[in-house]
């Protein structure tokens, strides 16, 4: 009587692996191997770093640039930032804000220059960064046939979190989406899907939190949730907020201006 249930669970686990292998929740949860390597090397099976023990985070770029086929995706930029704190990444449409975040996350290799991410004094190669970076991106996609909780739980399992269901529920509570945990993704409004993207970013409480246009489609309560996530992320480590919205720019203690480069204080 229980055999069909086991087969269903195994099938879902296989779908989760395939989903992540092809970039499932494409910019946020594709870190299966890095999570497992991190656990083996002492990063902890849960992938969670307690706030009280949050390590120093250093992010540095030297003449960092990227070129897509036939066009420049990111003009050369140099900066150095340290946690705790938040940095607003600003620039016109097409300036390379999303490209920069993807490079930091290890999802994209730069065409030129160097990016260094060190946590607790240890420099992380691109494949290891995916374990310590949480990214909420407009490109994030979900499995429509599964529930909100299942989508998050699959990501938690792939990242090696010790209790993925509990971690997923905590993430949903932090973005005010816990009441929709058992709804399928197509039942969500645009604003709720954006909250789900934010939940993917904070899943496992990574020391580097990156939010790409975090207020998109959100109501006032959702924007309040973004501010709370940034405030908490600053206590845990480093937060990058890519935005053109002035209210979101003010979330940064410092500001990176793309196309022209450099690091400055918010006006």
- The whole-number pLDDT of residue 206 equals 92
- The whole-number pLDDT of residue 37 equals 34
Q: Round to whole Å and give the CA distance between 221 and 89.
A: 23
Q: Round to whole Å and give the CA distance between 6 and 12.
A: 10
Q: Round to whole Å and give the CA distance between 167 and 201.
A: 12
Strand ranges (E), 11-146: 57-68, 71-82, 85-90, 112-119, 122-123, 133-136
Residue 13 pLDDT greater than 70, yes or no? no
CATH number of 3-264: 3.40.50.300
Q: Collapsing DSSP states into helix, strand and coil, what is residue 79?
A: strand
CB 229 within 8 A of CB 210: no
- The whole-number pLDDT of residue 45 equals 35
pTM confidence score: 0.79
The residue ranges of every structural domain in the chain are 3-264
Q: What is the pLDDT of residues 238-260, one digit of tens each?
A: 999 999 999 999 999 999 999 85
Q: Which of 26-35, 53-62, 160-169 has the lowest mean pLDDT?
A: 26-35
- The whole-number pLDDT of residue 160 equals 76
- The whole-number pLDDT of residue 16 equals 45
- The whole-number pLDDT of residue 44 equals 35
Q: Round to whole Å and give the CA distance between 38 and 131.
A: 7
Q: What is the pLDDT of residues 75-104, one digit of tens each?
A: 999 999 998 999 999 999 989 999 999 999
Q: DSSP labels for 121-147?
A: TEE--HHHHTTTEEEE-TT----TTSB
Could you tell me which residue, 220 or 16, shows the higher pLDDT? 220
Buried b (16+ CB within 10 A) or exposed e, 11-48: ebeebbeebbeeebbbbbbbbbbbbbbbbeeebeebbb
pLDDT band at 157 (very low <50, low <70, confident <90, very high): confident
pLDDT band at 23 (very low <50, low <70, confident <90, very high): very low
Beta bridge partners of 65: 112
- The whole-number pLDDT of residue 112 equals 95
């Amino acid at each position: 009587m229980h055999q069909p249930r086991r087969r269903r669970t195994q099938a879902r686990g296989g779908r989760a692996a395939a989903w992540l292998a092809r970039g499932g929740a494409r910019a946020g949860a594709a870190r299966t191997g890095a999570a497992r390597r991190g656990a083996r090397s002492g990063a902890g099976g849960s992938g969670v770093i307690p706030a009280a023990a949050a390590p120093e985070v250093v992010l540095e770029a030297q003449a960092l640039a990227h070129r897509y086929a036939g066009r420049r995706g990111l003009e050369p930029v140099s900066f150095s930032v340290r946690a705790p704190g938040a940095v607003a990444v600003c620039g016109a449409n097409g300036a390379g804000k999303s490209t920069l975040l993807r490079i930091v996350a290890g999802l994209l290799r730069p065409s030129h220059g160097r990016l260094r991410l060190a946590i607790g004094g240890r420099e992380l190669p691109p494949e290891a960064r995916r374990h310590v970076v949480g990214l909420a991106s407009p490109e994030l996609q979900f499995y429509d046939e599964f529930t909100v909780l299942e989508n998050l739980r699959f990501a938690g399992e792939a990242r090696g979190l010790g209790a993925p269901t509990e971690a997923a529920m905590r993430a949903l509570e932090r973005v005010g989406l816990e009441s929709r945990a058992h709804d399928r993704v197509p039942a969500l409004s645009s604003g709720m899907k954006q909250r789900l993207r934010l939940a993917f970013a904070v899943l496992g409480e990574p020391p580097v939190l990156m939010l790409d246009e975090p207020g998109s489609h959100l109501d006032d309560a959702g924007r309040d949730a973004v501010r709370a996530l940034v405030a908490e992320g600053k206590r845990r480590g480093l937060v990058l907020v890519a935005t053109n919205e002035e209210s979101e720019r003010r979330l940064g203690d410092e500001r990176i201006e793309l196309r022209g480069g450099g690091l400055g204080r918010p006006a």
